[in-house]
Amino acid sequence: MSTALRVLIVEDSESDAELIIRDLQRAGYVPIYERVQTAAEMKSALEREDWAIVIADYSLPQFDAFAALKILQENGRDDIPFIVAAGTMEEDAAEAMMKAGAHDYVMKDEARLIPAVQRELEVRRKYKQAEQAFHQSEQNYRSLVENSTDIIMRFDKEKRHLFVNPSVKGVLSLDPEDFIGKSHRELGFPSDEYIHWERAIQRVFETGKPFDIVLQSKREKGYVTIDLRFYPEFSEDGKIGTVLGIARDVTKERFTEAQLSHAQKMEAIGTLAGGIAHDFNNLLQAILGYGEIILLNKNENDRDFEKLQHIIKAAKRGSELTSQLLTFSRKVGSKLQPLALNHIIENIQTMMDRTIPKMINIDYRLSPNLLNINADASQMEQVLIDLVVNARDAMPRGGTLTITTENVIVNEDNPPPYPEITQGEYVQLTVSDTGHGMDIDTLQYIFDPFFTTKELGKGTGLGLSTVYGNVKNNHGHIICYSELNRGTTFKIFLPAIELLEKPLEKAAMEKPQGGTETILLIDDEEFIRDLGKRILTTFGYSIFTAPDGESAIELYRKQKDAIDMIILDLIMPGMGGRECILKLLDINPQARIVIASGHTIDGPVKDVVNLGARDFIHKPYGLRQMLKVVRKVLDKE
């Protein structure tokens, strides 16, 4: 073993020092040494070098071991082993030296000195190692705590902060240091917040068990949801000395969860509402259809004319309601086409300006270089009207209605406000009012069908459900922000497409046209068969009817040359519409088949239409619509 050893020797005798060096050399060390005899020399030696060990004579002419040890301690270097190597062994002196902090007191002979040196160096080495390990582990934990996005705190029995990590910065605009020595109450947190903190900490001190709570906490930008966990920290005597608190901001997660369960709820209500609306459609179709037929044969002087008009009006209103429900449950088809959203707004601007009272100021902020969207124009108009009407109702004493359009990009730097929104370019429509706003309890139900806070007869609660369905139908997303007495903002995100102008067309009204062809009407519901028969025969057509697929096939096989067209209900017991259409085409591949259904053209209906049907009639059909489709299909070769 040959190890360099920096030795500081406090010794007046040159030869004694040399003896010590020789002993060390013999033990395998390579001593690099310096001999000092005075306090001044000792001080400067300590400043110059990092000594591994100090070996000091007990007393020197101008200096002694006590004074040397004191200098070492004053320099903060009492970690260096200090061994007194005295000429004589005196018990009292040895005891006093050890008390003063010397590591050992030995005689100046090799037999005693070397083992003492070896032992002290070893102790120091181990100590240093442990210190390093401790430092490392402390560093690890410090880094964990300091870099944690959770807020980590330690509280004493008075619920005052003993420690907080840097994450706390900015809470109530405070710095971490501001928390130390103060409780939440003393820091000026609102009382409905600090009460919960205090109770929770108190509880952990009392029970010795961890405790969790979730709190709403007011921050500069509004409320955040905080998940709080408290843990007892036991001191050596087994008592709870402090309580550790970990606070995590779960606002985003909670929001995502809420959105998800909201989406699921809307899905479920949609299915239910869609089912009811579909069945109602059939009933209304009968009322409306028969009503129209009777009315057609009467003139204005007839005593039943007005009553019939009432029946038809009521049935139409009913049909409007069911179609709103169908929109909500997304059971209506949309004609998506490239649109400039600004045009839609401009189109209905006059209408809006007329319906909105003067004391409401309308502020249009339409982006001049707005990207286009792929959307259904009339559905987008409907969305705007519903939102504007609601805003009007929310501002009975006036205010400002702002309609904004702008392009927004959702990417990593601009995360979406709604978890379902994927990255990409969007056109954002914002409708904002300064009205009475809503509380959180109202806000969570606004999109539900029939949810309204308006008095009986004033609102059906279908406005926003239709908005929701229309937005979804156009592949968009809608979010509502509202604060009581402050106002409400609806934001709609619609996927953008490239810039492309296309004017809107308005379908012109046409006169109903009849014909002389023969039509086979297949429907399992008797009143629908009768209704169809009445409408079509009134307008000159000849009709065969069949109540199910089986009898229709049989009839068609016999009469296929006489039948020019087939109207087929899609959903029937027994042989369904799908099988029926295939069999009909099997008999005559040229058969003109039109599908009639209360469901949308999308989804299952689309598949069947794709099997070879010529067109689609949406139930309930008015007289005009049915006649129009029939004529269109018959006229097409």
Which parts of this chain interact with ligand ATP (CB under 6 A)? 386, 390-391, 394, 433, 435-438, 442, 446, 451-454, 459-465, 488
Q: Where are the alpha helices (H) located in 62-109, listed in sequence order?
A: 65-74, 91-100
Q: Which does 139 bind (CB under 5 to 8 A by kind): ligand ATP, Mg ion, none?
A: none
Q: Which does 446 bind (CB under 5 to 8 A by kind): ligand ATP, Mg ion, none?
A: ligand ATP
Q: How far is the CB of 429 from ligand ATP (least distance, A)?
A: 14
Decide whether 35 or 477 has the Cβ nearer to ligand ATP: 477
The identity of residue 500, as a single letter, is: L
Q: Classify strands 161-164 and 151-155 as parallel, antiparallel or unpaired.
A: antiparallel
Q: How far is the CB of 395 from Mg ion (least distance, A)?
A: 13
Q: Which does 615 bind (CB under 5 to 8 A by kind): Mg ion, ligand ATP, none?
A: none
Decide whether 176 or 463 has the Cβ nearer to Mg ion: 463
Decide whether 152 or 391 has the Cβ nearer to ligand ATP: 391
CB atoms within 10 A of CB 151: 21
The identity of residue 162, as a single letter, is: L
Q: Which does 216 bind (CB under 5 to 8 A by kind): Mg ion, ligand ATP, none?
A: none
Would you say 521 and 543 are in contact if contact means Cβ atoms under 8 Å apart?
Answer: yes
Q: How far is the CB of 462 from ligand ATP (least distance, A)?
A: 4
Task: Classify residue 59 by its DSSP letter.
Answer: B
Q: How far is the CB of 462 from Mg ion (least distance, A)?
A: 8
Decide whether 484 or 500 has the Cβ nearer to ligand ATP: 484
Q: Give the whole-angstrom CA distance, residue 377 versus residue 506.
A: 10
Decide whether 438 or 522 has the Cβ nearer to ligand ATP: 438
Q: How far is the CB of 593 from ligand ATP (least distance, A)?
A: 38
Q: How far is the CB of 355 from Mg ion (least distance, A)?
A: 13
Would you say 189 and 216 are in contact if contact means Cβ atoms under 8 Å apart?
Answer: no
Q: Which does 347 bind (CB under 5 to 8 A by kind): ligand ATP, Mg ion, none?
A: none
In the complex, the residues that contact Mg ion under the rule CB under 5 A are: 390, 463
Would you say 300 and 437 are in contact if contact means Cβ atoms under 8 Å apart?
Answer: no
Q: Classify strands 3-10 and 53-56 as parallel, antiparallel or unpaired.
A: parallel
Q: Which does 454 bind (CB under 5 to 8 A by kind): Mg ion, ligand ATP, none?
A: ligand ATP
Q: Which does 435 bind (CB under 5 to 8 A by kind): Mg ion, ligand ATP, none?
A: ligand ATP
Decide whether 106 or 384 has the Cβ nearer to ligand ATP: 384
C-alpha to C-alpha distances, 366 to 67, 301, 370, 552, 614, nearest whole angstrom: 87, 52, 8, 56, 42
Overall size of the chain counted in residues: 637
Decide whether 457 or 589 has the Cβ nearer to ligand ATP: 457
Q: How far is the CB of 318 from Mg ion (least distance, A)?
A: 19
Q: Give the whole-angstrom CA distance, residue 287 versus residue 295.
A: 12
State CA 339 to chain mean position distance: 29
Decide whether 383 or 567 has the Cβ nearer to ligand ATP: 383
Q: Give the whole-angstrom CA distance, residue 401 versus residue 407.
A: 20
Residue nearest to ligand ATP (CB): 463
Q: How far is the CB of 325 from ligand ATP (least distance, A)?
A: 11
Identify which of 283, 278, 487, 295 has the alpha carbon closest to the alpha carbon of residue 398.
Answer: 487
198 contact partners, CB below 8 Å, separation of at least 6: 159, 183, 184, 185
